[in-house]
Amino acid sequence: MKKAKKVFSAVLASAMALSLLAGCGAGAAKGGSDTFKIGAIGPLTGAAAAYGNAVVNGAQIAVDEINAAGGINGYQIEYKSEDDELNAEKSVNAYNTLKDWGMQILVGSTTSACSIAVSENTKNDNMFQLTPSGSAEDCVKYDNVFRVCFSDPNQGIASAQYISDHNLATKVGIIYDNSDVYSSGIYQKFAQESEGKNYEIVSAEAYTQDNNTDFSVQLQKAKDAGADLVFLPIYYSDAALILTQANTMGYAPTFFGVDGMDGILTVENFDTSLAEGLMLLTPFAADATDDLTVNFVKQYNDKFGETPNQFAADAYDAVYIIKAAIEKAGVTPDKSTSEICDAVKAAMLEIEAKGLTSQKMTWEASGEPNKEPKAVVIKGGTYVSAE
């Protein structure tokens, strides 16, 4: 037994030494290449895998299209994605892996906390980072980081504005996820912005990811307070449950969501008639009829067998935005990562992009996009423009 243990520890120790060496094998390949190397990071496994896979797949479609059409300024794109399991630590590891591969521009990370953690590293390395969906305020605090989606505060403000402008409600109830960065970020800004508007917030109830099955209390409170609109700054998976429970308890206010609500119609076995009348502010609707969206949805369906959501659209746009900025800046892949970053950063302020998520997007030096939120309402099982 003693001997077996010794042998075992020797095996372990040598495995460790080997793995170290294996790690060394991947030398830093930099410069001198004739392709742009773009990397993407997101949760590809685990509970949030749906978001990460959407980003990675969406970007993949854009890269394939660009490469088929001759690349950026004649240079092909090499594309690689890494998993972060929704874990900031793993996200930084994923970033380092991509850096060893020779990444020059990062599309990521998919989620806010991971994106913030990675931005610390991209800033140190001066690498251009464009997060498709990292919506927390701090995601773009460094000048090398830009984003495609709306920020959480922006969504909060836009929602409050929209509800007030369209006289949607007099009494508003809120249900938000207190354990989630995205949800509590929007909630806080929404609550602040609601001061002095033509409606009042009558209930604001939280839940956590460990307690996301029973919403009877939150709904009952909103109902008792007489809320005629319930604001749901949360992801669609929890919202589907809230709608079902509200239905069984016979409570039918207007439900109002934000971009995380996109995807609710794709929940397997979900009775979509419950979502009838649900309003949401979202930059992307898979049912839109413009050529760009139709083409994207078709390609995505063919390749990955599902309908793309907002994350996929953001990532698709992100790759095209990078293309536009590189073309504007006129950089070539043989430049160093830092030089590319500086050039692209400057070009970002000048370009005007058109994509799936907006007809017109421009950027400020803060990294925030300027674009119009679209309000859609679900009618007959599809999105219809709310205007």
Strands 279-282 and 254-257: parallel
Smallest distance, Å, CB 329 to another protein? 25
Residue type, 246: A
Q: Which two tokens stand for residue 339?
A: 């030089």
* Touching another protein, residues 242-281 (CB under 8 A): 244-245, 248-250, 267-271
| CA-CA-CA-CA dihedral for 29, 338, 60, 363, to nearest 10 | 180
Q: Does 386 bind another protein (CB under 8 A)?
A: no
Q: Which one of the spans 61-69, 186-194, 324-332, 337-345 is the region binding another protein (CB under 8 A)?
A: 186-194
Q: Does 66 bind another protein (CB under 8 A)?
A: no
Applying CB under 8 A, among 34, 165, 179, 277 the residue interacting with another protein is 179
| Phi and psi angles of residue 122, each rounded to the nearest 5 degrees, phi first | -65, -30
Q: Does 180 bind another protein (CB under 8 A)?
A: yes
* Touching another protein, residues 111-130 (CB under 8 A): 113, 116-117, 120
Q: Which helix (H) or strand (E) holds 60?
A: helix 49-68
Applying CB under 8 A, among 65, 138, 276, 287 the residue interacting with another protein is 138
Q: Does 205 bind another protein (CB under 8 A)?
A: yes
Applying CB under 8 A, among 36, 37, 77, 82 the residue interacting with another protein is 82
Q: Which one of the spans 160-168, 216-224, 279-287, 343-351 is the region binding another protein (CB under 8 A)?
A: 216-224
Q: Does 370 bind another protein (CB under 8 A)?
A: no
Q: Which are the contacts of 248, defined by CB distance < 8 A and separation ≥ 6?
A: none
Q: Which one of the spans 160-168, 234-242, 322-330, 345-353 is the region binding another protein (CB under 8 A)?
A: 234-242
Smallest distance, Å, CB 360 to another protein? 31
Give the number of other Cβ atoms within 10 Å of residue 93's Cβ.
16
Q: Which two tokens stand for residue 153?
A: 């505060």
Q: Does 2 bind another protein (CB under 8 A)?
A: no
Q: Does 294 bind another protein (CB under 8 A)?
A: no
How many Å apart are CA 176 and CA 155, to the nearest integer? 14
Applying CB under 8 A, among 33, 64, 71, 100 the residue interacting with another protein is 100
How many Å apart are CA 229 and CA 261, to the nearest integer? 16
CB-CB contact of 296 with 249 (8 Å) = no
Applying CB under 8 A, among 170, 209, 301, 370 the residue interacting with another protein is 209
In the beta sheet, which residues pair with residue 146?
A: 130
How many Å apart are CA 191 and CA 168, to the nearest integer? 16
